[in-house]
Amino acid sequence: MNPIILTLGGFISCALLIVFSGVRLSKYGDIIADLSGLGKAWIGLILMAAVTSLPELFSGFSSILILKKPDIAVGAVFGSCSFNLAILALLDYFVPGKPISSVVTKSQILAGFLGMILIILSVIEIHFGKLFPEKGWFGLFPGLIIFIYLISIRIIFENDRQAQKAIENLASQAHKMEIKISLKNAIIKFLIYSVLIVTAALALPYFAEKLAQETGIKESFVGTLLVAASTSLPEMVVSIAAVRMGSIDLAVGNLLGSNIFNMFILAIDDLIYTDGPILLATNPNHALSALVTLLMTCVISISILFGSPKKRFALGVDAIIMILLYSALLFALYYLE
């Protein structure tokens, strides 16, 4: 059998396992947050952000520590951020008559703004990092990213009470639906699906590297497109489900919040990459991914603030612009490679 088909089959199998486990992780994460009583809203949001980002986290570990391919790890982070925003644009289709940006609270702009700050820091590191001498392997800018990320979490929780109430209501619904399951069983199932998703995430970069070798496509492009899209599948499934349940703010907040968490993952990747600052050791084309992500975030933030309350087509103008930007990014990266 053609080796490319075998490799592609392994890659798709990992992606499907990530989707299967990611959806169930989110479900049991909400149940644990509700049954434990340990600050339902806050713990629920942390669990949801963490479990939907497990694939990005562990695929980065695998790329750096096992495969020694930091390009795949960095490409997966920036690619995941842009892919999340493309998902947000596609969610516009599920909101009839109005752009999705017109039905979410203005507080979502805060998450977009904080995400933009973190992305700007990474772009500065890629282009000007060599001008700042580093002592040791952990760069100055990843340290700033971690610091700003922790501040961002505090700011978001202090300023987004409405989102916290929505999450608490969702957790309460989960409790009612799963009233027969005990906290112990919920934790056991959570751990089982965690192991499955970590296993798939660790194997995913291996198949991505094989695809890059067998097809001749550069690792940075494979990381930006294939690995990023696959590791973002849990966010996509959870967000679509949230929109269909009417929790549009939760869906948008999940995607914008995941981008903030992705930048935190980038800083963790830098910490475990001991040959120097990771952004200086990878393809500079990643800066293009970061800049397009920045533009897409600007589009959705401006639309939330000033956007039209109606849309003439299946997608609003802002969603169309974001999809065009993402398509242009993929074309440009492939052409540059």
pLDDT in tens, 231-260: 777 778 778 877 877 778 777 887 888 888
pLDDT for 296:
96
Q: Which two tokens stand for residue 77?
A: 């982070």
Q: Is the pLDDT of residue 33 over 90?
A: no
Contact 118, 145 (CB under 8 A): yes
**Sequence-ordered list of residues with C-beta below 8 angstroms from that of 144, at least 6 positions apart, any chain:** 121
Of residues 135 and 208, more confidence is placed in 208
| Torsion from C-alpha of 223, 226, 231, 235, nearest 10 degrees | 120
Give the whole-angstrom CA distance, residue 7 versus residue 3. 6
**Tens digit of each residue's pLDDT (9 = 90 or more) over 164-196:** 555 555 555 544 554 467 888 888 988 898 888
What integer is the mean pLDDT of 221-226?
Answer: 68
The gap from C-alpha 249 to its chain's centroid, in whole angstroms, comes to 16
User: How confident is residue 336, by pLDDT bands cut at 50, 70 and 90?
Assistant: confident
- List the domain boundaries for the chain: 3-336
What integer is the mean pLDDT of 58-76?
Answer: 85
Give the whole-angstrom CA distance, residue 290 versus residue 60. 17
Helix%, strand%, coil% for the chain, nearest 5: 80, 0, 20
User: How confident is residue 41, by pLDDT bands cut at 50, 70 and 90?
Assistant: very low
pLDDT for 170:
53
User: How confident is residue 44, by pLDDT bands cut at 50, 70 and 90?
Assistant: very low
Type of residue numbered 26 = S
User: How confident is residue 6, by pLDDT bands cut at 50, 70 and 90?
Assistant: confident
Q: Which residues of 157-176 are buried (b: 16+ CB within 10 A; e: fewer)?
A: eeebeebbebbbebbeebbe
What integer is the mean pLDDT of 213-235?
Answer: 72
* Closest listed residue to residue 137, CA positions, set 264, 281, 290, 283: 281
Q: Hey, is 87 helix, strand or coil?
A: helix
Give the whole-angstrom CA distance, residue 328 versus residue 288. 11
pLDDT for 40:
46
Q: What percentage of the chain carries pLDDT values higher than 70?
A: 80
Contact 319, 302 (CB under 8 A): no
Number of residues assigned to the chain = 337
Contact 249, 166 (CB under 8 A): yes
Give the whole-angstrom CA distance, residue 234 versus residue 240. 10
pLDDT for 94:
87
Mean pLDDT of the chain: 79
State pTM to two decimals: 0.79
pLDDT for 323:
95
pLDDT for 239:
80
* Closest listed residue to residue 137, CA positions, set 225, 70, 88, 44: 70
- Alpha helices, DSSP H only, in 223-247? 228-231, 233-244
What integer is the mean pLDDT of 85-113?
Answer: 87
Q: Which two tokens stand for residue 169?
A: 């209501």
User: How confident is residue 309, by pLDDT bands cut at 50, 70 and 90?
Assistant: confident
247 CB neighbour count, 10 Å cutoff: 20
Contact 11, 204 (CB under 8 A): yes
pLDDT for 123:
87
Type of residue numbered 290 = A
Contact 222, 72 (CB under 8 A): yes
| Record: fold of 3-336 | A middle domain of Talin 1 (1.20.1420)
What integer is the mean pLDDT of 86-112?
Answer: 87
Q: What percentage of the chain carries pLDDT values higher than 90?
A: 14
Give the whole-angstrom CA distance, residue 233 versus residue 22. 8
